[in-house]
Amino acid sequence: MTSALLTDKYELTMLAAALHNGTAHRRTTFEVFGRRLPEGRRYGVVAGTARLVEALPEFTFDDAALTLLAEFLDPATLAYLADYRFRGDIDGYPEGELYFPGSPVLSVHGSFGECVILETLALSILNHDSAIASAAARMVSAADGRPLLEMGSRRTHEEAAVACARAAYLAGFAASSNLAAQQRYGVPARGTSAHAFTLLYSTADGPDERAAFAAQVDALGVNTTLLVDTYDITTGVANAIAVAGPELGAVRIDSGELGVLARQVRAQLDDLGATTTRIVVSGDLDEFAIAALRAEPVDTYGVGTSVVTGSGAPTAGMVYKLVEVDGLPVAKRSSRKESHGGRKQAQRLSKRSGTIVEEVVHPDGQAPEAPTGLVARDVAVPLVRNGEVVADLSIAAARERVASGLHSLPWDGLKLSRGEPAIATRMVTHSS
Amino acid sequence: MTSALLTDKYELTMLAAALHNGTAHRRTTFEVFGRRLPEGRRYGVVAGTARLVEALPEFTFDDAALTLLAEFLDPATLAYLADYRFRGDIDGYPEGELYFPGSPVLSVHGSFGECVILETLALSILNHDSAIASAAARMVSAADGRPLLEMGSRRTHEEAAVACARAAYLAGFAASSNLAAQQRYGVPARGTSAHAFTLLYSTADGPDERAAFAAQVDALGVNTTLLVDTYDITTGVANAIAVAGPELGAVRIDSGELGVLARQVRAQLDDLGATTTRIVVSGDLDEFAIAALRAEPVDTYGVGTSVVTGSGAPTAGMVYKLVEVDGLPVAKRSSRKESHGGRKQAQRLSKRSGTIVEEVVHPDGQAPEAPTGLVARDVAVPLVRNGEVVADLSIAAARERVASGLHSLPWDGLKLSRGEPAIATRMVTHSS
């Protein structure tokens, strides 16, 4: 099915009106940016760029779509859409880059007609994926090197779940439970068993946890992860080692006060000689709970709801605004929603140590000189030229960008508490 | 593409282990329920049931899926999956029903193997769609009869957006901006223009709002909605009526203090003779902002971010739990996450006035007698028998259920403030 109807109706009625009098052919630049970060957040992580540019070739109007649109569009507009494919240029922040309020995350250049109808698709993908990656990066930072598993598919829309797995992995998670994310994006899939599996081994005589563990070890080997909290955790750990032996890969605890339980279970495992058996914890973890477990003998965190819902910020709140028409800057100017006109670029300034200090958003081609002692880097890259993808969009590269971006933040920027953006954004206006 | 990989890996490793020793063929019931409502909510609205049962026929494993799964599954499990299609039974609350903590929203009956692998798909759809419908119903209630337009596609995942449009419409919204929701589900699509359209009519001499309005009216007729807040709202309204005349359909205000502006604009429109021109307001509206505008001359509300993010509760938090194996109730019993074993049904008790007073969840086939003076109604209906859909799944019927459900709530249940569930749920345990 075409992605072209994943679109707000008004984009097509605007197109019709603009085609009617020829203004649809004016050269324009639309910019995607966030006016602010979600409340209290200190940085955002760009994600979705690759999904967006890869969706462009399928953003075409097939017969079924045109039939639907014929209910409210005139023949000239329908003819335009029948031929439509995006042939313009796109620049933007590559996936994994940090962003801040006002960062020109994406710039779309082309005729008004060809650009205006991409608004919903561009924003849906960037707002969703960036919200997830931004939350996930905070968890990665809080986990301080311990691996994180994304297991929240069941807490979000079934297709959003795949994008969540991708965005969390992009931000530094080790793996996801979602199989479609492995198929589509190569995200490593993990997972072993749920409480239902243990409960299945119940008879009229009552539950039989050992039978469940034996069945799992038989089928999946001793390197599996046994879920030990279906009945009593201490008994569960004893049963797990009795069945699998001290070579058992891991135990998972999914309920209770995880810090206390992790300490108890670690001591018990060690007593049983299972010194290499790892402890996986899960159950309503967010970045704060992850950080609170740093001192505990936890080997791996499983994170569900909080990561797929952006940990309180389920959308990044970016907007898609017309900033230039036929070379002239344009901007809305009614109350509080001002946007800065003109095609823009961004430089990120760092100390020689690598710590970033400021983002400078300037008119395209008018980069100011970097202050003495600071290093300037252009943040955006060419993504699409004449409708064709020209950038390296690998997730591996994006993962490296997140890691180096987190490393580049001033200390305050990594705080989980509410605060201001980690660096200021300076808007340099047109000198002409 | 098959929906069968929209699944957590552990469902398939559990299946493999259970096939290995024959327990995969035990007869089971899995139940979907929420342990609690999102914090402070007084009721939930079930949505997604129809999307789930309609997704079942596509939940099959094609060659590409089996190739991926061959990396970690044995030949017997792969053979089982190659033949897989759900052939069991499903009972559940029809879409649009209210639900409360512990309500058995869905009951899936079949072999362990055929039921366990539906967990992620079932929960993804029900948790997402119910979260949206539950938030949307609060907005419908707050709007007190004025129409609501869902226009949040750009604030959520592009496919989730379509499901959001459907869930909001199901809960009583009048229309959505999303064209795919019209195509797939018949949700009426609405929308006219954005600020970009007005900004497009800028030249070296500056902006030309009248030219933009004239272009839109030329193409779409005087019954269109003109967006009047790109520059100055008072001038915008004057320009709108100057161009379109007093027969103009509507003006939209998308920024500023909407109550004050609505009053000003209403007075100005009336002075200009445009007494039938409607006022549409949008811009960060949620149920509280909608309620706060009740006294103002607002004709239609446009709602974006808040409805597609569940207005603070982006997921319904339902779980999918094994409750019965070969006729025996089973239940997890470690800390705080207790679930009640056994196949269950629910009755809703009402006064003769129609006001509901209690939900009684009882063992299947053991309905207690309704107290004198109260009317009992079974909430769940048969949805699937032997893998085939047997229920009426129309959105029109679901819309009626929401409307009558809201009407049936005790007064406190309609309060927007945080509180307890509107009615209590009584769990009746097995008498045998």
Q: Which of B159, B196, B256 sits opposite A157 (nearest CB)?
A: B159
Cα–Cα distance for residue pair B113/B19, rounded to 1 Å:
8
A325: chain B residues, CB-CB within 8 Å:
199-200, 202
Whether A175 and A126 share a structural domain = no
Test A197 with B163 for CB contact under 8 angstroms. no
Whether A175 and A245 share a structural domain = yes
Provide the ipTM. 0.96
Whether A162 and A275 share a structural domain = yes
Whether B210 and B321 share a structural domain = no
Whether A100 maps to a domain, the answer reads yes
Whether B270 and B336 share a structural domain = no
Cα–Cα distances in angstroms (integers) from residue B44 to residues A174, B144, B270, B349, B356, in the given order: 35, 18, 41, 17, 14
The CATH number for B42's domain is: 3.20.140.10
Whether B18 and B66 share a structural domain = yes
What is the least distance, in Å, from the CA of B264 to any CA of chain A? 15
Number of domains chain B is built from: 2
User: Are B213 and B186 spatial neighbours (Cβ–Cβ below 8 Å)?
Assistant: no
Measured between its terminal Cα atoms, the distance across chain A in Å is 46
Chain-wide mean pLDDT for chain B? 95
Enumerate residues 6+ apart whose C-beta is below 8 A from A344.
Answer: A31, A104, A107, A323, A361, A362, A363, A364
Identity of residue B95: E
Q: What digits encode the pLDDT tens for the residues A150-189?
A: 999 999 999 999 999 999 999 999 999 999 999 999 999 9
Whether B146 and B252 share a structural domain = yes
User: Are B241 and B272 spatial neighbours (Cβ–Cβ below 8 Å)?
Assistant: yes
Whether B165 maps to a domain, the answer reads yes
Q: What is the pLDDT of residue A432?
A: 46
Cα–Cα distance for residue pair B199/A321, rounded to 1 Å:
10
B231: chain A residues, CB-CB within 8 Å:
332-334
Whether A19 and A150 share a structural domain = no
Q: Minimal CA–CA distance to A255: which of A293, A220, A228?
A: A228
Whether A1 maps to a domain, the answer reads no
Q: Which of A312, A336, A357 is the last residue of a domain?
A: A312
Q: What digits encode the pLDDT tens for the residues B292-304?
A: 999 999 999 999 9
Q: What digits encode the pLDDT tens for the residues A247-303?
A: 999 999 999 999 999 999 999 999 999 999 999 999 999 999 999 999 999 999 999
Q: Which of B264, B291, B312 is the last residue of a domain?
A: B312
Whether B432 maps to a domain, the answer reads no
Q: Minimal CA–CA distance to B225: which of B183, B181, B261, B274?
A: B274
Whether B145 and B265 share a structural domain = yes
Whether A79 maps to a domain, the answer reads yes
Q: Is the pLDDT of residue A76 over 50?
A: yes
User: Chain B: residue nearest A256 by CA?
Assistant: B335
As a dihedral over the C-alpha atoms of residue B252, residue B255, residue B260, residue B263, rounded to 10 degrees, the angle is -10
User: Chain B: residue nearest A167 by CA?
Assistant: B157
> Which DSSP letter does residue A192 get?
-
Whether A88 maps to a domain, the answer reads yes
Whether B65 maps to a domain, the answer reads yes
What is the least distance, in Å, from the CA of A5 to any CA of chain B? 5
Q: Which of B112, B158, B215 sits opposite A23 (nearest CB)?
A: B215
Test B337 with A196 for CB contact under 8 angstroms. no
Q: Which of B292, B312, B332 is the last residue of a domain?
A: B312
- Residue A267 CB coordination number (10 Å): 11
The CATH number for B296's domain is: 3.20.20.70
Whether B405 and B262 share a structural domain = no
Domain limits at B69? 9-132+313-427
Q: Is the pLDDT of residue B432 over 70?
A: no
**Residues across chain B:** 432
Q: What is the pLDDT of residue B272?
A: 98
Test A334 with B231 for CB contact under 8 angstroms. yes
Whether A170 and A290 share a structural domain = yes
Whether A365 maps to a domain, the answer reads yes
Whether B302 and B241 share a structural domain = yes
pLDDT above 70: percentage of residues in chain B = 98
Test B219 with A20 for CB contact under 8 angstroms. yes
